[in-house]
Amino acid sequence: MPAPLDDRALVAAAQGGDRTSLDQLLRAHYDRVHAVCRRITGNDADAADAAQEALILIVRNLGSFDGRSTFATWTYRVATNASLDELRRRRRRPMLAGRDHDPDTTAPTEPPDHHAHEHPERLADRLTIDAALTALPEDFRVPVVLRDVVDLDYAEIADLLDIPVGTVKSRIARGRSQLATAISRADGNQPGTSERPTHIN
């Protein structure tokens, strides 16, 4: 069985009109795209909309991808922009039951099925972190997601968000601090005393 093509070869083939290669690309990157959308938007319904829009934009703009960044980084840029657009649309539309929620009072929706096998304590940790992350201001949540979920470096995040590297570092540090405080409070501890993990999977 031949080895799977890497992103560069798949992109070249897809740009040449190979629909099978395009499908492989979308399948390979969908989970990470959806994860970015879910963390940024804070709920499954908006994440699904943002991820769908991101896929459409990836297909529509694939011809303009020039390889100066990795394809993964480019897709994360598209996913982030689609998610931010979805947040702006959400602020303009009426509140819908079960779709928008107050992050300070309502826990996020159930996690995706692929986490259903997790140990109950680990799942509880994930839900606590998700709730704390959802409550973060957007300016902090987005760079924290890009660093701790997508694993981009500071320079890539700065380029993605069009802000200085120093601002990225400051926002991530403040976002992580607020996450730790929120998780500690959820555990009934004083800030900084929680034994729950604060990293984002």
| Per-residue confidence band for 171, with pLDDT thresholds at 50, 70 and 90 | very high
Residue 9 sits in a domain whose CATH number is: 1.10.1740.10
What is the average pLDDT across 33-52?
Answer: 92
Rounded Cα–Cα distance for residues 73 and 111 (Å): 25
Same-domain status, 95 and 3: yes
**How many of the other CB atoms lie within 10 Å of CB of 78?**
22
pLDDT value at residue 10: 95
- Which residue range(s) make up the domain with 61? 1-100
Same-domain status, 22 and 90: yes
Residue 180 sits in a domain whose CATH number is: 1.10.10.10
What is the average pLDDT across 67-81?
Answer: 90
pLDDT value at residue 15: 96
What is the average pLDDT across 178-191?
Answer: 76
Q: Is the pTM of this model over 0.75?
A: no
**pLDDT at position 107 over 90:** no
End position of a domain, from candidates 58, 83, 100: 100
Instruction: Yes or no: say if 33 and 87 are a contact pair by the CB < 8 Å rule.
Output: no
Number of domains in the chain: 2
End position of a domain, from candidates 82, 100, 118: 100
**pLDDT at position 108 over 50:** no
**pLDDT at position 94 over 50:** yes
Same-domain status, 7 and 61: yes
Same-domain status, 150 and 188: yes
